[in-house]
Structure 1
Amino acid sequence: MTNPRRRQLLLALISLVTVGSTALVTAAGRVPAPTPEAWVATWAAGLSAAGATGKSSAGFAGQTVRMFVHTSVGGEKARVRLSNRFGKNPLTIGHATIALPFGPNSGPGDLKPGTIKDLTFFGQREIVIPVGGYAASDAIDMQVPANEDVAVTMYFPGETGPATFHVSARETAYFGPGDHSVALTGAGMPETSNSWFYVAGLDVLNRNGKGAIAVLGDSITDGFKSTINADNRWTDYLSERLNKQAPEGKAPGVLNLGMAGNRTGVDGAGGLGVNALARFHSDVVAQTGVHTLIVQLGINDIWISKDTANNIIARLQQLAAQAKLAGLKVYICTIMPWNAYSSAPDVINYTPELDSIRLTVNSYIRTGSDFDAYIDLDAALRNPAEPTKLRPEWDSGDHIHPNDMGNEAMAKAVPLDLLL
């Protein structure tokens, strides 16, 4: 057993050495603490199981796919998150890269010289993602710009089977036979798709650490009817506003988790994904640095499901409760006008009876206290002369989805003091 007096002497000596070391550091000038790393999602997508037909159903075999995603905030490092959540086979990725696109005058799918970087997974170029699994690449040094496109290219040496994907990307993806992961040109990938495959998110190292805002929505948030490859979704416009308003480099990320056909409590068919409550944790809570949720949902519950206002409100309340349990701020959007909406030729889905459900839900949103605040998209986009309709200059033509100008008007309707 150690002598108690000897033990006290040893402790005193250690204390003197520590104090002396501190004095030396102080005299020479205190060594600054290292800057903490702050990772944040700059882009993300809600993913679903493959559709009954098309490329998602067929999958890839000995092929390369090149996809473009649009950032919200920039950073000095990057990592890519991948998903095989809805796959039926283990997913083998033989080679993957990240790069910047070449520019408006380059060829389809071309990349900027000198920007292509290999994605590795704990130092390995190849990875196998199990059925239902996820993977994150190693961090790579890369100056990722804000509000710009980034290219993710993946080569699949074997048969993938049906793909985990996002059906309506509003971005052109290119694919073709062979490994074109490091090809500057897209010429070897002549086939195209309007979907994202397997890519769940893009994170950047942004030491300002302002976190991310997730927007959980339907096809309106997904940008349906906005111009393809123009990045004119309302979340893109919102990100641009935040980057202009916030001090340089200190805007939060904006993550578009819209999904065509999405409803609060009923799954979609044909690649349209699971309901919002079922995907809340995988699509919202799992995002890197997320601290705020904006909910834009409800119209599909009305015109597709013909559900009651009480049922829709109950599920919105659950979304609010789940968000708060996850420690998130949560805001909700009122449901926009849709009079004369036609989902198919010679079919008018709108009725005054169904619209009364929308008005009841909107009344709950405006007067309730379950959410931290509401964003009144209905008031911002409705036609003052005919309040059940969209303003004609912002109507894409189907009377429910805004055009590019309408998406910009939606973004302008968001009070930035809620988010900054």
Structure 2
Amino acid sequence: MRFAKTLAALATAAALITPAVPAQASTAGPRWTGAWSAAVQQPSPGGLPGSSNWSQAGFKRQSVRQVIRVTGAGVAVRIKISNLYGTAPLTVSGATVAKAAAGAAIRPATLRPATFSLRPYTVIPAGQELVSDPIPLPVQALDRLAVTLYFQGATGPATFHDISSATSYRAPGDHRSDPRGTAFTDSSHSWYFLSGVDVLSPAAQGAVVTFGDSVTDGTGSTLDADNRYPDQLAERLVAAGRPLTVLNSGISGNQVLADHPLFGESGLARFQRDVLDRPGVRTVIVMEGINDITYPGPVVTAEQVIAGHRELIRLAHARGIRVVGGTIMPFKGNPWLYPDGTPEPFAQEQVRDQVNTWIRSSGEYDAVADFEQALRSPTDPDRLRPEFNVRDGQEGDRLHPNDAGLNAMAEAIDLSRL
């Protein structure tokens, strides 16, 4: 009875709170702020060579436990479940949230059921997303949560996020309330259906969205270490006592201008959903364009990439959101872009340089995060610094920074400009 009264009170409070708050809006009292996010993609075999995931097969009579880290504190949380790319209604038979322990285990005292319009289950139409009722679980910034979804019937292909740099777990049967990890014998490095976690906070001053491609997504960062550059930016903000949350809206392989079946809708197409519709957004950091410049196909000019960035700036400013431009980092020597025997694509480097010059000098962005300057080699500015290109003693791909390089990106951001 006490839980039901608490849930009803939180639901009443939440109903009075606008889901998305422009940067200049007055915010008296607690409000919902995004504290974790994943930009969703259509089901696919995955974008990395040799990758595999569960998205195309979906789930039936299975529990999926996903461990995430929230970037802000709150008195309650709510989860967002996406059936954006589903072809049929998605029945979620039940869901729980708890603070995570090791692996797939959870801390039993923190286990809370999720409800949807006060019901323990929900049906989400194809092409839509749904937010749960408030869940009375107090959290601190950088707490790790485990969200467990149970699917009794067949889901069909699953809306998902391909490269999570985190482990998700699967178990046969209903293990929503199972505190142990032993039943979760299957694992994957993608996220499924879960697209957001918000906190109800009286203190949060808003959310910073990091928008981009694989470097923002964290491709190549250490598995389960939360070392993506947005994670390390969140740690800086917590250490500085700045109550801003950080949301990761990166998709590996994503382009500003073009859709791709493996790498998501274009940045222009998904900006509304992945930035503007997130609750409490105050600032967005945009770093995208490398894939437009380097992918095979029609040549993309600097003017076209810049036009795409200008449209993102326009959309953000129309909602009162501050926009920080991130320069595109070096990629010289990347084996995917420079196969053996292929000359260095000087024209592509010129386009990248032109876009970066515009980002730095045009004044169209409200501020600049000069990621290229922070990560380029002092002896060859078109290459990644050698110390940011090593993983486990092996040379990297000269495109995706290691954990130290991702930390250098986070350090390159002026917190006062957020």
- What is the TM-score normalised by the length of structure 2? 0.88
Name the residue aligned to 2:331.
Answer: 338
Distance 1:80 1:292 in 2: 22
Distance 2:41 2:168 in 1: 17
How far apart are residue 100 of structure 1 and its match?
0.8
State how 1:2-401 maps to structure 2 within 5 Å.
36-52=29-45, 54-102=53-101, 108-246=103-241, 250-270=242-262, 272-305=263-296, 306-343=299-336, 346-347=339-340, 350-396=344-390, 397-401=396-400
Distance 1:38 1:54 in 2: 35
How far apart are residue 267 of structure 1 and its match?
1.1
Distance 1:150 1:349 in 2: 47
Q: Contact between 1:341 and 1:350, CA under 8 Å: does it hold in 2? A: no
How far apart are residue 327 of structure 1 and its match?
1.6
Name the residue aligned to 1:11.
Answer: none
Distance 1:294 1:342 in 2: 28
Q: Contact between 2:294 and 2:337, CA under 8 Å: does it hold in 1? A: no
Distance 1:408 1:314 in 2: 30
Q: Deviations over 1:181-213 (max 9, x none)?
A: 000112212111111111111011110130101
Structure 2 unaligned spans of 5+: 1-27, 46-51, 391-395
Query: Per the alignment, do residues 44 and 349 of structure 1 end up closer, same or farther by CA in structure 2, a change over 3 Å counting?
Result: farther
How far apart are residue 253 of structure 1 and its match?
0.7
Task: Give the SS at the match of 2:149.
Answer: strand
Distance 1:37 1:414 in 2: 28
How far apart are residue 338 of structure 1 and its match?
0.9
Q: Contact between 2:55 and 2:158, CA under 8 Å: does it hold in 1? A: yes
How far apart are residue 251 of structure 1 and its match?
1.6
Q: Contact between 1:108 and 1:187, CA under 8 Å: does it hold in 2? A: no
Task: Give the SS at the match of 2:312.
Answer: helix
Query: Per the alignment, do residues 232 and 312 of structure 1 end up closer, same or farther by CA in structure 2, a change over 3 Å counting?
Result: same
Range 342-351 or range 64-73, more displaced: 342-351
Query: Per the alignment, do residues 407 and 370 of structure 1 end up closer, same or farther by CA in structure 2, a change over 3 Å counting?
Result: same
How far apart are residue 265 of structure 1 and its match?
0.8
Distance 2:204 2:170 in 1: 35
Q: Deviations over 1:317-370 (max 9, x none)?
A: 111111111221111101111110112895569522211110011111111122
Distance 2:58 2:226 in 1: 26
Q: Contact between 2:204 and 2:245, CA under 8 Å: does it hold in 1? A: no
Q: Contact between 1:340 and 1:349, CA under 8 Å: does it hold in 2? A: no
Structure 1 unaligned spans of 5+: 1-34
- What is the TM-score normalised by the length of structure 1? 0.87
Distance 2:207 2:267 in 1: 19
Distance 1:97 1:286 in 2: 24
Q: Contact between 1:342 and 1:349, CA under 8 Å: does it hold in 2? A: no
Task: Give the SS at the match of 1:143.
Answer: coil
How far apart are residue 373 of structure 1 and its match?
1.4
Distance 1:338 1:148 in 2: 34
Distance 2:337 2:374 in 1: 27
Q: Deviations over 1:286-307 (max 9, x none)?
A: 1010111110101111111541
How far apart are residue 145 of structure 1 and its match?
2.1
Q: Deviations over 1:80-105 (max 9, x none)?
A: 11111111111101110001112xxx
Q: Deviations over 1:143-166 (max 9, x none)?
A: 212113111000001111111100
Range 53-62 or range 256-265, more displaced: 53-62
Distance 2:318 2:349 in 1: 32
Q: Contact between 1:61 and 1:160, CA under 8 Å: does it hold in 2? A: yes
Q: Deviations over 1:252-271 (max 9, x none)?
A: 1100101000100111223x
Distance 1:290 1:226 in 2: 25
Query: Per the alignment, do residues 350 and 187 of structure 1 end up closer, same or farther by CA in structure 2, a change over 3 Å counting?
Result: farther
Query: Per the alignment, do residues 334 and 182 of structure 1 end up closer, same or farther by CA in structure 2, a change over 3 Å counting?
Result: same
Q: Contact between 2:53 and 2:189, CA under 8 Å: does it hold in 1? A: no
Provide the identity percentage.
Answer: 39
